[in-house]
């Protein structure tokens, strides 16, 4: 089953969207998107084209000032969830 990963920026603008083949790849992609400056990242399971199922979301709170520092981890995670990893992709 395929998953769609989406990354949003400061003002909820879409920064990136990509499709990956499985849940493990989706989790890795979300972390990569956060490392590249995404503020909110979502992953959807492609069970239905009209109504994809949200299966993961990570959101970080970062100040404008902290976002401009050289500190590689100025942000603070404030919300995170993913489905149970024991689910089946079959």
- Residue written as token pair 């902290």: 66
| Residue 87 burial by Cβ neighbours in a 10 Å radius (0-12, 13-18, 19+) | exposed
Residue 68 pLDDT level (bands cut at 50, 70, 90): low
Q: Are 15 and 21 a contacting pair, CB within 8 Å?
A: no
The structure tokens listed for 55 are 């299966």
Percent share of the chain, pLDDT over 90:
21
Helices (H) and strands (E) in the chain, counts: 2, 5
Percent share of the chain, pLDDT over 70:
66
Residue 70 pLDDT level (bands cut at 50, 70, 90): low
Cα separation, 76 vs 63, whole angstroms:
10
Which comes out higher in pLDDT, residue 89 or 27?
27
């Amino acid at each position: 089953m395929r998953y769609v990963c989406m990354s949003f920026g400061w003002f909820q603008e879409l920064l990136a969207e990509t499709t990956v083949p499985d849940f493990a790849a989706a989790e890795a992609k979300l972390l990569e998107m956060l490392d590249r400056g995404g503020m909110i990242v979502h992953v959807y399971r492609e069970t239905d084209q009209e109504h994809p199922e949200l299966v993961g979301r990570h959101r970080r709170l970062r100040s404008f000032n902290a976002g401009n520092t050289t500190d590689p981890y100025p942000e603070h995670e404030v919300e995170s969830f993913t489905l149970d990893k024991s689910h089946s992709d079959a």
